[in-house]
Structure 1
Amino acid sequence: MDKEYDFIVLGTGLKECILSGLLSTNGFSVLHMDKNGYYGGESASLNLNDLFKKFQGKEKAPEDLKLGSSRDYNVDLCPKLLMACGNLVKTLLSTKVTRYLEFKSVAGSFVYKQGKIFKVPASGGDAWRSSLLGMMEKYRFKTFLDFVVQYDQKNAKTWPNKMDCTKTPMSEIYKYYKLGDNIQEFVGHAVCLYLDETYKGMPAHDTIERAKLYAYSVSRYGNSPYIYPVWGLGGLPEGFSRLCAVHGGIYMLNKPINKLHFEGEKIVGVESVDENGKDAVAKCKKGVLADPTYFIKDGKPGPEVKQVGQVARWICILDHPIPNTNNSDSCQIIIPSTQLKRKSGTTHYLNGTTSCLTWSCRHLHLVRIALPQRRC
């Protein structure tokens, strides 16, 4: 361990593993360390026993719950569906990390409205079949979707009514296509995945590009725009870790980080223990990349960390799929903030028996909600 590297990476979360993989493939020497005994950090996929150990301090799941074998589960701590044509998938393909992974198409994407769940229309055909929209709304949404697909900021002929979408707010685009609150709600929250309504006052370009990405991703697989690693999201950090190791990166798990060595404001070394349990320092030439949890002391973030928000998550184990989702074994359900009458909405993920996330006739219902910022 007492060596010098170009970069030292602390934590094996998704972003850390992507960075170490890309650095190693570009010829940099990388030491990757994690205080945990497993890959993934907060992006890990845990079996049932590890899940109860992490959150309840128990060595295994209580037998009276009758949840089945621990090894039948791969529970994602930080679920994230992958847009089929998104940047992360492009990175997976370009680095050939896909050879280490297997994916499946998520069965559907749904939105909650007035006590009911509706499938999100993402094509003209979906719009005509959807009960979420009235007759005139279907026509207007199809017209809007046709514009989105052919939109090109560099070609003024594709701009709506000669409006420059890098300057025109999204509210004006909605107004031009006569899209009412109903369509705006599911376009903004279920298609473009905004947490609140502030995007309407911002330049429309980003919203249009998000809607285009959604439409293109749907066209790739048909049912929904999302794909998911069959064995859980934890497979992504592991895949990039393999990429790093193939190109000479060194990995060390179960390594406590005792101290960070500074020269001025720059971290130049990381102190841990070697294989004999003695203190050892790994030095770095260019810098340290780290998960923010390595800079938290006594529950408070240090000056290296800037907190920008909070997210609450729930993990629910069900014995049935979510009603009104066509018995989908996997899906995403968006509850817009306007339906909840709060500043941000919630996202619900369901993964069931055909996805290898659970083989015990159980469905994992994962809920995520952004919390309001605290005032100091």
Structure 2
Amino acid sequence: MNEEYDVIVLGISLMECILSGIMSVNSKKSASVTPLEDLYKRFKIPGSPPESMGRGRDRSVDLIPKFLMANGQLVRMLLYAEVTHYLDFKVTEGSFVYEDGKIYKVPSTKAEALVSSLVGLFEKCHFRKFLVYAANFDEKDLRTFEGIDPKNTTMREVEDVIDLSGYALALYRTDDNLDQPCCETINRIKFYSESLQRYGKSPYLYPLYGLGELPQGFARLSAIYGGSYMLTKPIGEIIVQNGKVIGVTSEGEIACCRQLICDPSCVKDQVESHPIKNTDDTNSCQIIILQNQYIAIVNTTVETKELEEEIRPALVLLEPIEQKFLSISDLLVPKDLGTESQIFISHTYDATTHFETTYDDIKNIYKRMTESEFDFEEMKRKNNDIYEED
């Protein structure tokens, strides 16, 4: 471990593994310093899982309930870096919305909009017209505006099927977008539709063997380009000299570095101690439910102190429930940009259904580290990989 690196990455979560892979591909010398029974221990459930749940090794429960958007930036990154060589994906069977005690298929095509019982009879044609408008919208082409100024017209003024388009298609978690310029919402609906068109059933992709496959794929990419991984190494101290990071200690050894990437858990004194703005001063709540051979995940941004009551409508749909696990994850952000200390801290995962905000954070950290915009061309395989793959 007593070596010098350009970048040291603390942690092996998805964000850290992607950044480690990017730095290794760009010829930076980097180092990354970790079953069902564990699920019971994590949530402090007494006893062991009942036999009806099967063998622990047969289950892999993701603690961050997210999907990949089929036309999203993370999928694009996987393709450019050829990490897809190590992964298999499954298209989810559909995208649905809960309304008035019932589950409805989200109408995201012209044909579905006309037959969906989620949209009223007199709204169908209007909503179909709006979907066509969103699909053709291009903020660089004035001809697609059709008399609407997307920079100054609010979403509330554009269309009437507000709840459906904002939550189910644009994937907003609140209705704050209604009084904002409609350009962003229309682009998000278009993005949803483009993701849906890739494979037909839904806009979401999921790794066949769970989300843990994603960091493993990028970790392998980093290793191909010379990145080192030090597993089960406890993090001792982050050494800072004259305001800049110079290394990390572990078990009496020192690894020197010019830059450091880590998640908030490694530097708790350097993250904001108050709730993040625009999150209703709340945390992220995730509930994992096991029912026979099914695993269901319900997550939300908590708005009251009654965590379980907030997702009660979803729990009713999942009854009977054999075992329930409740976890609250704080939303943490770094206090500063890290450009002075060269310690770059990631955000914690939010309650969105996808990884697009995670990609935004990766892109932001990359820009702060390199003082240049992220370019997908930087992720393409080069001829200087140190290991020859089959």
TM-score in terms of structure 2 length: 0.73
SS of residue in 2 equivalent to 1:76: coil
Could you list the runs of 5+ residues in structure 2 that have no partner in the other structure?
A: 277-281, 316-320, 333-390
Cα distance, 1:204 vs structure 2: 1.3
CA distance in 2, matches of 1:293, 1:233: 20
SS of residue in 2 equivalent to 1:66: helix
RMSD: 3.2
Contact 1:8/1:32, CA 8 A, preserved across alignment: yes
Contact 1:348/1:367, CA 8 A, preserved across alignment: no
Spell out structure 1 runs of 4+ moving beyond 3 A: 304-307, 332-337, 345-349, 362-373
Cα distance, 1:291 vs structure 2: 0.9
Deviations along 1:282-302, whole A, 9 cap, x unmatched? 1112x1110111113xxxxx1
The question of 1:303 aligning with 2:281 is answered no
Cα distance, 1:102 vs structure 2: 0.5
Higher strand share: 1
CA distance in 2, matches of 1:132, 1:233: 32
Change in 2 beyond 3 A, CA 1:271/1:14: same
Change in 2 beyond 3 A, CA 1:57/1:293: farther
Residue matched to 1:358: none
Q: Equivalent pairs: percent with the same residue?
A: 38
- Within 5 Å, which residues of 2 pair with 1:142-157? 142-157=128-143
Cα distance, 1:368 vs structure 2: 9.2
Select 1:316's aligned residue among 289, 303, 314. 289
Could you list the runs of 5+ residues in structure 1 that have no partner in the other structure?
A: 38-46, 274-278, 297-301, 322-328, 350-361
Contact 2:37/2:49, CA 8 A, preserved across alignment: no
Contact 1:189/1:334, CA 8 A, preserved across alignment: no
Residue matched to 1:90: 76
Change in 2 beyond 3 A, CA 1:367/1:64: closer
The question of 1:52 aligning with 2:37 is answered no
Select 1:71's aligned residue among 57, 82, 86. 57
SS of residue in 2 equivalent to 1:136: coil
Contact 1:112/1:334, CA 8 A, preserved across alignment: no
Letter of the 1:171 partner, please give it.
Answer: R
CA distance in 2, matches of 1:4, 1:320: 48
Select 2:253's aligned residue among 280, 285, 292. 280
Cα distance, 1:149 vs structure 2: 0.7
Cα distance, 1:207 vs structure 2: 0.7
Change in 2 beyond 3 A, CA 1:80/1:363: farther
The question of 1:203 aligning with 2:181 is answered yes
- Within 5 Å, which residues of 2 pair with 1:249-260? 249-260=227-238
Residue matched to 2:25: 25
Change in 2 beyond 3 A, CA 1:369/1:143: farther
Cα distance, 1:200 vs structure 2: 1.1
Cα distance, 1:99 vs structure 2: 0.7
Contact 1:111/1:334, CA 8 A, preserved across alignment: no
Deviations along 1:206-244, whole A, 9 cap, x unmatched? 111110011111111111110100110111111110110
- Within 5 Å, which residues of 2 pair with 1:264-275? 264-273=242-251
CA distance in 2, matches of 1:25, 1:365: 42
CA distance in 2, matches of 1:369, 1:132: 32
